[in-house]
Amino acid sequence: MTSGVAAAAAAALIAGLPPCVPRAAAATLYVDGGRCAAIVEGAAPIPSETRAARELKRYLERVTGCTSAVLSEPDAPSGGPRIFVGATRRAADLGLAAERLGPEEWILRTDRDDLVLVGGRPRGTLYAVYHFLEDVVGVRWWNAFEETVPRRPTLAIGDLRRRGTPAFGYRDIYGVDRSPQFSARVRLNGSFQHLSPELGGGRDFGPPSHVHNFYRYVPPERYFGPHPEFFSERAGFRAAGRSQLCLTNGALADVVAGEVERFVEGAAAEARREGVPPPELFDVSPNDWGGACDCARCSAMAVATGARSGTLLAFVNRIADAVRRRHPDVLVDTVAYLQYFAPPHDVRARDNVVVRLAGLQRRDYLHGLRDPRNRAYRDAVRGWARVAPHLWIWDYLVTFADVPELPRPNLRYLAGDLRFYRRVGVQGMFVQADQPVVADLRDLKIWVLAHLLEDPSRSPEALIREFSDGYYGPAGASVRSYLRLLRTAARRFDGPVRFDTEPSGYGYLDASFFREAYRRFDRAERAVHGDAVLSRRVREARLSLDRALLARWPWLDVERLGGRLDRRRILGEARVTVERYVDARTRGPQAEAVRDRVLGALDDLAERGGSGSPR
């Protein structure tokens, strides 16, 4: 175990068993040329526990070279070494019965020659196996396509007493390369991870959609003619075009509640046909534009509750009350966004309501929540935490300018933000990361973020070092040097980066920054020269810098760049990297579309010199 992993294992997420329990002897599971541990599963495993045992077998065989059998507990040998996976009698005898654990709680426990890997259902045992393979054995899943598996013919694991549960009950990253297997291995569990029951299942949203669906429940073409009163009143007139709903209309609430129940029942019937659990979450949230209702009732309620969101929360509460009568396990979700962003007072969300706060337009994405520039957003989080027992955050790695997601030093402040969210009681995180090819250090950021979503107490610096050394090899130090340069440049910059900031607004990405950044990547490429895999990874890491140079070109003092940074040559190198990236990671007919879109955007940047102006 590396020192970084050892430090992570001691983090607050992982707590030792009570000190009154006597310490067990260290276990040696595999000996080179000698004994192999038997892998033992319970007599009645659920699909994710069966998958956990098979994953364990597969990786331990690659690590040790020793072929292990997976046995049902009644067929297990009487002596060790044995690895008990899931809900076994052996775990129960140690006071670790799976039914007494939380749905994602996991435990690693040695007892003499035995190792017990157990967790709650449905995902806890899977997480126990993945933590064992990652934290103890040293397996790393860097992304959906690449992993590191060490060779350890003798596997002595010592005395293990670790347990934990993820800090946030909902952990979702939108834009991860679609690989449910990778998502499960880094312990993501949200709806966009598409997890089957054998991967522990996910906390899924049911139809009609996970967001912005007022008009899916009440289509204007069907309802506006007979019921204009269902739609927003604006300037004295009812309107359906790019509008919202009249949230104080009781008859409208009854219609939407009936539609939600219809979707709940339809999704449950489909789940029964497919033999999978039904969705847990059903969203009722405003359309993705303005147009809130200004009728007398809605205006009065907004004043009485201190915010327009008071009308939204009361409306969703009424729907949640109706749904609860027949579907007590369903959670009704809504989104506090745009004109519904500010928290209300005197209206509290029902305990079967989830509120997702989305502050897209309300914060500076160059700084963390502790920065004074983000005080209003920070205060909104605290305000919603007081009125929403189930508060989740819709956060963003992406920005939404014409040229989105230029390099930002956001990994360290993300850790601080997640700690703040956890401290005030946030229970779920949905993070939007839309740029699959040209995003800023995408593999690094997704990997670090996934681990921080599980345990925000972990050191972002240690995680960055672990990934950069493990994934980029000898180039890791130069990649970290680039990140320090980026952070230093941003600290000297006074302006904010908003969700719609165009390239002209990224003043810290100046000529001196690019000159030094390319020197660091030159060192990184020299460090891995001759290694095709590591060279490719370094070039992919440089891709976002290439794109940023093309985007920022009109605002740079080109004379200060030096002769090496020729725009056409950088474009040519970036195009080659994109081609190889898409060929390696994208399958089927979509590959050509992705390639054409990304290459076309790069060509356009080079052709127009990144022209554009801040919004």
H or E, element range at 395: strand 390-396
Q: Helix, strand, or coil here: 162?
A: strand
Distance CA 450, CA 142 (A): 11
CB-based contacts of 103, cutoff 8 Å, min separation 6: 120, 121, 122, 123, 124
Distance CA 315, CA 397 (A): 31
Closest CA to 340 of 383, 363, 293, 307: 307
- Helix, strand, coil share (%) of the chain residues, nearest 5: 50, 15, 40
Asked whether 166 and 187 are in contact (CB, 8 A), the reply is: yes
Distance CA 266, CA 269 (A): 5
Asked whether 282 and 332 are in contact (CB, 8 A), the reply is: yes
Name the phi and psi angles at 553, rounded to 5: -50, -45
Q: Is 107 exposed, middle or buried (0-12, 13-18, 19+ CB in 10 A)?
A: buried
Q: Could you tell me the CA-to-CA distances from 344 to 229, 313, 329, 420, 557 in Å, in that order?
A: 24, 8, 26, 21, 49
Q: How far apart are the first and last CA of the chain?
A: 49
Asked whether 115 and 83 are in contact (CB, 8 A), the reply is: yes
What was the pLDDT predicted at 451?
98
CB-based contacts of 459, cutoff 8 Å, min separation 6: 7, 8, 415
Amino acid 143 reads N
pLDDT in tens, 296-317: 999 999 999 999 999 999 999 9
Name the phi and psi angles at 157, rounded to 5: -105, -5
What is the token pair recorded at 217? 């429940």
Asked whether 425 and 525 are in contact (CB, 8 A), the reply is: no
Asked whether 212 and 286 are in contact (CB, 8 A), the reply is: yes
pLDDT along the chain (615 residues), means of 10: 36 32 56 82 97 97 92 92 96 96 97 95 98 98 96 91 98 89 98 97 98 98 98 96 97 98 98 96 98 98 98 98 97 98 96 97 95 96 98 94 92 94 98 86 95 97 98 98 97 93 96 96 98 97 95 91 84 93 82 89 81 33
CB-based contacts of 518, cutoff 8 Å, min separation 6: 545, 564, 565
Q: Where are the beta strands (DSSP E) in 292-342?
A: 331-336
DSSP letters, 401-417, are SSS-------HHHHHHH
What was the pLDDT predicted at 609?
67
Distance CA 491, CA 196 (A): 44
H or E, element range at 396: strand 390-396
> Looking up tokens 């790019």, which residue turns up?
242
What phi-psi label fits residue 206: left (phi over 0), alpha (psi between -120 and 50 degrees) or beta? Answer: beta
Residue 44: count of CB within 10 angstroms of its CB: 10
Q: Where are the beta strands (DSSP E) in 74-229?
A: 82-85, 106-111, 114-119, 140-141, 147-148, 155-158, 161-164, 170-174
Q: Strands across the sheet with 390-396, in order?
A: 170-174, 428-432, 390-396, 353-358, 331-336, 281-283
